[in-house]
């Protein structure tokens, strides 16, 4: 038995909260002989262990990379502030959980970017490992810093730091780049030569190979590839979901994590096209796994992990083409095994008696629906395509089934929103409360609790709202206050997010390369965990912007013209800019767009020749 | 017939850093996966019945920990429990025996520990001497949170009980038997904390819980 973490780490483990996050040694974690592998990949999640370990993308790629004999992929998470403090005090470099080795010993250091406010954690983790932050300061062919995930849909705020961005799904492109690295290393290539060759692989963006020129007003005037790099970088995606790699086991954590259960992905993409939803546009077209694949993967996962709960994952589970058939065949197995099925991401119109009876085995925690907006007009403008009567009918079904807790998710600050729309949220909440008392089969002797959560809308790249101005902090706070005052019943619990964090999220979501120096300065100041209220200091952030001579409102609060060159325009996610423009104009007229199964609206994703685009309608 | 079974296991290496609650979850998962014919509670929310006679604190390794379950199948051979469960447990938690309980958990009175301690910048001999020096004092108190608020505990008797026979010039090793169980429980880290306060130095420690005993110093079985 070997201790994988160092003696120095051992000395501090009893001084920090939840030390089990920093030790490794979990069931199914992959240990290899480092002398027998020839490529080491540190998969870094820029947040705590509990959050990172719940992330499906990391589980998939961790297992897939390790399925290659010559690759050893290990996990790294951001240490919480108490641990970081002790590590810095004692000069303990950030280490990977499997081997306990510092990140400097890895060929690749890969980050998954899920949230803009984790950017400081990305850089802070490099800094904790003693790795130079700027790509140009890392001159050797080692410690190649790569990044993938949702947020690379606008990689520019991190352009100075990351060597390679993976655009789209990682299963194929990541491996191709690693193979190229091995070849280049064998031949004794320089890092520069390697990057130049990597840029030729589809789905790879090497920011150092592009020059950006700006107009006097700060907008982009030219985005120029150099050294033969492609002018447009196309996303990678997997078309055959039944044959793509899927893990047969997950690392089972020793300490409790956020989602401590097995997860089965049932499809990628979403047919809906809600205009605010970035995932819906980045992941087109919808590609499903077959029922048979799903069932067999569920069985294997539960067997190998010991989990007795499995969650079916997708952007909108009830849109699986044969959801009832799927649940029927899954529940035959899960009932036998005492496994409970959970089905997150249900649409209001997708919660039928049939589905309800299948997931009833799950402890009745509560149901969550996302009407997103309070009035029909605004729901049409954002193309949410859910009607109030459908929501009430669904709640009726749920209340009859014994549920008494319903959570409703909304957004404040959507384009075209008026105060009437904001009040509509309160009214809709009240209508759900009323529906409970109208329901004759409701749980007797118990009241109803409707939780209304309102987050603030952040316009995201590659969506029809990418040109919109984000509501100012003051406007959002006024709307929050108005909504709070519009709620008159105690049956409704109202939650909302701090407008400050959404503002900063908006800045980085649509930022450009000029923000790199802001991030550099933020790291010098010791910023980290900005997504956590206990660490986020808005005033300090504004000071940093001021010092850099950058106005954050330029990114968040400015309405862009349709013909402006946007920082992410060179990325091709398969959806045309023309389609996004048309969708934006339809939003202004509160016109809806049918979903992909009803009718093809010609977004451009049909170029991939698969998935829902070739389904018979 | 319900049959009580006591499962004996170790808790070492990285697994010493998991809390009682996490240990409980980890064990339940293994019991379930091993398909032991375990008895479920019959309440509103049935769950496998598992109790730990003396839960262990986070940060302490253990050579002989136990948990109690009930088996519903008369023909089930309990001796196969280790081989059924071990492949399903992390390397730090391994089952080495399963027996029929002989002693009720409430009779646990003492626990035996072994610990290696060190202080940065001090030799093992110096450390041992400064701990021994405390034995000349009238009392060594430390504040401890109890149900009735903070109270002073005198840990001097426990320092006096420490046996340093296994120490050498490299390592300061001690063994000690402390009150444990429901009525009186003394945590070794608390004793070290008291020593730290007196010598004004931070102690690094590695504690192993070896065994549990009844009031008459008979091994808990």
List of chain B residues whose C-beta atoms are within 8 Å of the C-beta of residue A11: 204
Contact A27 B25 (CB under 8 A): no
Task: Kindly state the DSSP code that residue B220 receives in the 8-state scheme.
Answer: P
Asked if the structure places residue B160 within a domain, the reply is: yes
Does the pLDDT value for residue A385 go beyond 90?
A: no
The whole-angstrom separation of Cα A53 and Cα B211 is: 35
- Residues of chain A with pLDDT > 70, as a percent, come to 97
Measured distance CA(B185)–CA(B179) in Å, rounded: 5
Cα B192 to Cα B187: distance, rounded to the nearest angstrom: 9
Beta strands B204-213 and B110-118 are antiparallel
- Domain hosting B112: range is 107-213
Domain termination site, one of B66, B101, B136: B101
Residue A252: its chain B contacts at CB < 8 A? 29
- Helix H, strand E, coil C: the string for A228-293 is CCCCCEECECCCCCCCCCCCCCCCECCCCCCCCCEEEECEECCCCCCCCCHHHHHCCCCEECCHHH
Q: How many CA atoms lie within 13 A of A517 on its CB side?
A: 9
Q: What is the pLDDT of residue A496?
A: 93
- Is B219 part of any domain? no
- Residue B130 sits in the same domain as residue B72: no
Please indicate, yes or no, whether residues B97 and B19 belong to a single structural domain of this protein. yes
| Tens-digit pLDDT profile for residues A457-513 | 999 999 999 999 999 999 999 999 999 999 999 999 999 988 999 999 999 999 999
Q: What is the pLDDT of residue A361?
A: 46
CA A316, A317, A319, A321 dihedral sign is positive
Joined together, the tokens standing for residue A448 give: 């109803």
A316's tokens? 């909108």
Domain boundary among B55, B82, B101: B101
Identify whether residues B141 and B50 lie together within a single domain: no
- What single string gives the DSSP state of each residue in A200-236? TSTTEE-GGGEEEEE-TTSSEEEEEE-TT--SSEEPB
Do residues B116 and B207 share a domain? yes
* B17 contacts in chain A (CB < 8 Å): 13, 19-20, 22-23, 254
Q: Per-residue pLDDT tens for B120-172?
A: 889 999 999 999 899 888 888 888 887 778 888 899 999 999 999 888 888 89
**Predicted local distance difference test score (pLDDT) of residue A43:** 98
- pLDDT of A2 above 70: no
B218 in any annotated domain: no
Q: Is A307 on the interface with B (CB under 8 A)?
A: yes
C-alpha dist (Å) from residue A116 to A149, A263, A505: 11, 24, 6
Picking from B61, B77, B101, the residue at the C-terminal end of a domain is: B101
- Is the Cβ pair B32, A308 closer than 8 Å? yes
Q: Examine the domain organization and report whether B148 and B57 are in the same domain.
A: no
Which domains, and CATH codes, for chain A?
A: 7-234 (3.40.50.280), 239-362 (3.30.750.210)
Q: What gap in Å lies between CA A268 and CA A612, rounded to an integer?
A: 11
- State the DSSP code for B164: -
Q: What is the three-class DSSP state of A187? A: helix
B221 is a domain residue: no
Contact A289, A241 (CB under 8 A): yes
Contacts of B26 in chain A (CB under 8 A): 254
ipTM score for this prediction = 0.87
Residues B46 and B133 in one domain: no
pLDDT greater than 70 at residue A365: no
For residues A311-322, average pLDDT: 91
Handedness of CA A26, B47, A302, A264 (dihedral sign): negative
pLDDT at residue A1, as a whole number: 44
Note whether B207 and B120 are same-domain residues. yes
**Residue B63's closest CA among B95, B20, B28?**
B95
Question: Which residues in chain A have Cβ-Cβ distances shorter than 8 Å to B27?
Answer: none
* Stretch among A92-96, A362-366, A466-470, A605-609 having the lowest mean pLDDT: A362-366
**Domain harbouring B171, CATH code:** 3.30.70
Same domain, B56 and B30: yes
Residue with structure tokens 């929050």?
Answer: A480
DSSP letters for A71-114: EEEEEEEPPPHHHHHHHHHTTPPPB-TTT--BGGG-SEEEEE--
CB spacing of B91 vs A254 below 8 angstroms? no
Q: A307 and B18 in contact by Cβ < 8 A?
A: no
End-to-end CA distance of chain A: 59
Residue B97 belongs to some domain of the structure:
yes
Residues B13, A25: C-beta atoms closer than 8 Å: yes
Tally of CA atoms within 13 A in the half-sphere of A217 that contains its CB:
8
- Can you give the pTM of this predicted structure? 0.93
Regarding whether B209 and B111 lie in a shared domain, the answer is yes
- Asked if pLDDT for residue A353 goes beyond 80, the answer is no
User: Per the CB < 8 Å rule, is B59 touching A1?
Assistant: no
B188: which chain A residues are within 8 Å (Cβ-Cβ)? Answer: none
Residue of A27, A251, A363 to mutate, interface with B, max B Cβ within 10 Å: A27
Residue of A62, A54, A138, A132 lying closest to A97 (CA atoms): A62
Round the average pLDDT of chain A to a whole number and report it. 94
My answer on whether B81 and B170 are in the same domain is no
Cβ pair A24:B29 closer than 8 A = no
**Residue B166 in domain:** yes
Q: Does A23 touch chain B (CB under 8 A)?
A: yes
Count the domains in chain B.
Answer: 2
Cα of B217 to nearest chain A Cα, Å: 31
**Angstrom distance (rounded) from CA A264 to CA A330:** 12
Residue B58 in domain: yes
Domain at B50, CATH number: 3.30.70.580
Residues B134 and B92 in one domain: no
In a domain, B89, yes or no: yes
- Identify the CA nearest to A366 among candidates A376, A379, A382, A351: A351
* Residue B89 C-alpha, separation from nearest chain A C-alpha, in angstroms: 7
pLDDT at A563 over 70: yes
Using the beta-carbon criterion (under 8 Å), do A14 and B59 form an inter-chain contact?
yes
Answer yes or no: do B145 and B62 share one domain.
Answer: no
Asked if A306 and B13 come within 8 Å (Cβ–Cβ), the reply is no
């Amino acid at each position: 038995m070997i201790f994988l973490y160092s003696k120095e780490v051992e000395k501090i483990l009893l001084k920090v909260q939840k030390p089990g996050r920093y030790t490794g040694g979990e069931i199914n974690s992959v240990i290899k002989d480092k002398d027998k592998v020839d490529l080491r990949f540190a998969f870094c999640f820029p947040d705590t262990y509990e959050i990172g370990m719940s992330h499906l993308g990391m589980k998939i790629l961790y297992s897939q990379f390790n399925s290659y004999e010559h690759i050893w992929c290990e996990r790294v998470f951001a240490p919480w502030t108490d641990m970081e403090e002790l590590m810095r005090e004692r000069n303990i470099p950030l280490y990977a959980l499997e081997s306990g080795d510092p990140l400097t010993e890895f060929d690749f250091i890969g980050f998954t970017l899920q949230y803009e406010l984790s950017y400081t954690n990305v850089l802070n983790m490099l800094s904790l490992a003693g790795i130079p932050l700027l790509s140009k300061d890392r001159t050797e062919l080692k410690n190649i810093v790569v990044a993938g995930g949702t947020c690379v849909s606008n990689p520019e705020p991190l352009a100075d730091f990351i060597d390679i961005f993976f655009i789209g799904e990682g299963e194929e492109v990541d491996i191709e780049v690693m193979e190229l690295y091995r070849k280049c290393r064998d031949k004794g290539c320089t890092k520069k030569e390697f990057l130049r060759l990597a840029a030729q692989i589809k789905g790879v963006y090497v920011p150092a190979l592009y020059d950006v020129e700006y107009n006097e007003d700060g907008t982009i005037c030219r985005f120029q590839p150099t050294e033969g790099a492609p002018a447009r970088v196309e996303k990678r995606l997997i078309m055959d979901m039944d044959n793509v790699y899927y893990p047969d086991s997950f690392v089972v954590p020793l300490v409790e994590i956020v989602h401590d259960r097995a997860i089965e992905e049932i499809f990628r993409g979403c047919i809906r096209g809600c205009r605010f939803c970035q995932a819906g546009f980045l992941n087109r077209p919808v590609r499903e796994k077959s029922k048979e694949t799903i069932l067999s993967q569920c069985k294997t996962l539960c067997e190998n992990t010991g989990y007795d709960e499995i969650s079916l994952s997708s952007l909108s589970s009830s849109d699986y083409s044969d959801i009832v058939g799927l649940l029927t065949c899954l529940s035959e197995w899960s009932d036998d095994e005492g496994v409970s099925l959970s089905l997150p991401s249900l649409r209001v119109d997708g919660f039928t008696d049939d589905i309800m009876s299948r997931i009833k085995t799950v402890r009745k925690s509560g149901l969550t629906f996302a009407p997103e907006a309070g009035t029909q007009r605004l729901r049409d403008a954002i193309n949410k395509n859910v009607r109030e009567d459908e929501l009430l009918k669904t709640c009726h079904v749920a209340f009859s089934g014994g549920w008494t807790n319903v959570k409703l998710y909304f957004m404040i600050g959507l384009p075209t929103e008026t105060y009437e729309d904001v009040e509509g949220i309160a009214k809709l909440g009240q209508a759900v409360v009323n529906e409970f008392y109208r329901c004759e089969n409701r749980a007797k002797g118990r009241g109803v609790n409707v939780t209304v959560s309102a987050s603030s809308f952040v316009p995201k790249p590659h969506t029809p709202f990418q040109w919109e101005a984000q509501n100012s902090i003051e406007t959002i706070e006024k709307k929050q206050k108005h909504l709070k005052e519009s709620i008159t019943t105690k049956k409704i619990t109202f939650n909302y997010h701090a407008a400050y964090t959404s503002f900063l999220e908006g800045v980085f979501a649509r930022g450009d390369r000029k923000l790199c120096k802001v991030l550099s300065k933020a790291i010098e100041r010791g910023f980290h965990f900005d997504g956590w209220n206990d660490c986020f200091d808005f005033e300090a952030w504004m000071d940093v912007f001021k010092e850099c001579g950058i106005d954050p409102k330029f990114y968040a609060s400015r309405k862009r013209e349709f013909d402006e060159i946007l920082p992410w325009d060179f990325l091709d996610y398969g959806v045309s800019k023309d389609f996004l423009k048309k969708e934006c104009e339809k939003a202004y007229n509160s016109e809806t767009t049918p979903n992909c199964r009803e009718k093809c609206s010609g977004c451009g994703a049909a170029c991939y020749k698969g998935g829902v685009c070739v389904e018979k309608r | 017939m319900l049959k009580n079974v006591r499962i004996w296991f170790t808790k070492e290496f990285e697994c010493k850093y998991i809390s009682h609650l996490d240990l409980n979850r980890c064990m339940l998962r293994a019991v379930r996966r091993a398909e032991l014919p375990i008895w479920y509670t019959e309440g509103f929310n049935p769950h496998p019945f598992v109790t730990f006679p003396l839960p262990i604190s986070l940060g302490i390794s253990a050579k002989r920990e136990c948990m109690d379950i009930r088996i519903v199948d008369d023909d089930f051979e309990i001796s196969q429990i280790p081989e059924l469960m071990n492949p399903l447990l992390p390397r730090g938690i391994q089952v080495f025996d399963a027996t029929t309980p002989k002693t009720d958990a409430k009779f646990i009175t003492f626990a035996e520990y072994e610990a290696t301690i060190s202080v940065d910048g001090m030799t093992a001999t110096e450390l041992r001497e400064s701990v021994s020096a405390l034995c000349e004092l009238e009392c060594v108190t430390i504040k401890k949170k109890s149900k009735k608020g903070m109270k002073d505990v005198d840990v001097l008797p426990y320092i006096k009980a420490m046996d340093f026979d296994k120490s050498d010039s490299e390592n300061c090793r001690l063994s000690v038997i402390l009150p444990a169980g429901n009525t009186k429980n003394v945590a070794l880290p608390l004793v070290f904390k008291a020593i730290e306060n007196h010598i004004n130095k931070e102690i690094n420690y590695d504690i192993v819980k070896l065994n549990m005993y009844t009031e008459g110093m008979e091994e808990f079985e």
